Every structure is written in structure tokens, then in C-alpha cells.
Structure 1
Amino acid sequence: MSVEEDMLLITKKFWDEGKFYEAHEVLEDIWRLFPKEDKFARNCYQGLIRLAIAYHHYTCGRRDSALRVLRKVKEQLGGCSGSFRYVNIAYMLSFVNSSIECLESGEEIKTLPNLMLNYQLDTESL
């Protein structure tokens, strides 16, 4: 398993436990694995970093900040393929869109997404 995959397992564990700030920290470490010349990968990972921050804002009661960041995430992840490397971007974007709709209409976000990865995970090892 690659360093990126190992780090994504850690990110998934934090994310799925609702520890979005911690997930964002690990995602930043993954982002740093890619050279500046790999603008596509860095952009997509930056979108995931922002998504973790958006949900962190939301869980801390900062709805306006969450909405502002979610709008940026929608634009940024929209430029990524439906399945970027190991992350199911299409799945994540579906939650971004529904979260934006909820917040714009004054509703609570009913369900926060798990971090959906596109490979079999051995989460027992965590």
C-alpha cells in the first residue's frame, strides 16, 4: 500500500468519526506529497481539505462559514473527475450539493458523508 493510501485510511477514520479538523490535517499532509507542477492533484486534494473544513465549521455551529466554503468546494471539486485517484468525488459532490441546498434554505444538514474511497480498505488495522 502506498503512503497516500495509508494516509487516506487515517483520514477516513477521522472523517467517518466526525473529526473533520483532524481529517483536514492529514489531507494537507497528502496534498504535500504532490509536486507543485501536479496542479490537478493538488487542486483536487485542496478541495477535499476545504470540504473537511466546511463540515468542521458546520459541526461547530458556524453555518455561514460552512456555506461559504462549501460553495468554493463545489467549484473546485467540480473540476475533478468523478473518481479522483482513490476518492469517489462524485459521491462527495452529491453531499456538497445537498449540504448547500440545506444551508441556503435554512435547514440543518441531515447527513454528513463518510469519506468514500474507491478501493477495499483494511480498517481493522487502524
Structure 2
Amino acid sequence: MGRPLPHGVPGVPRQPEGIVRSPDQTLLEAQRLLDDGMPFHAHEVLEDAWKTAPEASRALWKGLAQLAVGVTHAARGNTTGAVSLLRRGADHIEPYRGEPAHGVDITGLLRWARGHAAALEAGADQLPAPHLRGDG
């Protein structure tokens, strides 16, 4: 469930870092990981894109990575962190609303992030995975 493990307990290996993927490959891999309940791993994939993206799209990838970390915090029971990252991620992706940014459903993600941030603040304890391209 994304909870930290005690020291010495085997866990799921981290994603390899520094892999350069196309935007399409990044989104497909990140969505697969989100759907498989591995939001921190999805964050790592999105973070690779953020670190290597051209300046014009860096905030998009940063925001998507922050949304994935928000899901991670929610799974770990850190509501304050989840709400903060969901809102911060939404703020980073909002400027891309009018652009077809690699097929990312900006409007849907904004609705998802802000709606779930409010629901978490109101006491919800479930946070479904986002659909990066709005196809789910």
C-alpha cells in the first residue's frame, strides 16, 4: 500500500534512474505503474522526463511527478502531504490546459487533483490513480 517498510525488510526495487524516454513512452510507463499501485515508481519515471525535458515542458513533467507523489503520500496516510502535492502538481500543469501536451488530459487531471485534494481534506481515505491521458 505504499507504506514505508522497516529497515532490513525486502521491498520492491526502485525504478532505474536517468532513463531517457520519449514523452509517449514516459506516459505509458507512468500510467502502467500508477495502475499497478506503484505511484512512487511512476513519480521516478516522470521525474526522469522532468529532468531531461526542454524548458518549455519542464513544468508539465514536474507537475505530473508531483501528482504521483501526492498519490504516494495518500497511500502512506500522509493527508497533509498528499493534499499539498496534489495542489502543487495541479498548479504546475495548469498553464498547459490550452495545449495538447503529448495527449495529457490536463483538464481531467486538474479536476482529479483538486477534487481529490478537497476530498482528502474532508476525510476521504482513498485516492484512485489518475488517468494521465483521460482514457480511463
Which TM-score band applies after superposition, normalised by the shorter structure?
Answer: 0.7 to 0.9
2:53 alignment partner, SS class: coil
Q: Are residues 1:90 and 2:93 paired?
A: no
C-alpha spacing 1:71/1:117, structure 2 compared with 1 (3 Å): closer
Q: Which has the higher helix share?
A: 1
C-alpha deviation, 1:110, in angstroms: 5.7
1:23 Cα deviation (Å)?
A: 0.4
Indicate how the Cα distance of structure 1 residues 25 and 65 shifts in structure 2: closer, same or farther if over 3 A, else same: same
TM-score, normalisation: structure 2: 0.73
1:1-126 equivalences in 2 (<5 Å): 3-35=22-54, 38=55, 40-82=56-98, 83-109=100-126, 111-116=128-133
Amino acid at match of 2:27: L
Cα distance in 2 for partners of 1:57, 1:110 equals 10
Aligned-partner residue type, residue 102 of structure 1: A
Distance 2:134 2:128 in 1: 18
Per the TM alignment, residue 74 of structure 1 is displaced from its structure 2 partner at its CA by 2.5
Cα contact 2:40–2:72 (8 A) shared by 1? yes
Identity of aligned residues (%): 28
* AA matched with 2:65: I
Say if 1:14 and 1:22, in contact at 8 Å, map to a contact too: yes
Matched residue pairs, number? 114
* Cα gap change, 1:56 to 1:104, in 2 (>3 Å): same
What CA RMSD, in Å, does the superposition of the two structures yield over aligned residues? 2.1
Q: What SS does structure 2 have at the residue aligned with 1:107? A: coil
CA distance in structure 2 between the aligned counterparts of 1:70 and 1:110, rounded to whole angstroms = 11
Q: Is the 8 A contact 1:15 1:115 kept in 2?
A: no
Q: Which runs of 5+ in 1 are unaligned?
A: 119-126
Partner amino acid, structure 1, of 2:31: K
Q: Give the TM-score of the pair, scaled to structure 1.
A: 0.78
CA deviation vs aligned residue, 1:30-82 (integer Å, no higher than 9, x gap):
123323xx2x3101110001000001000111111101112212322222225
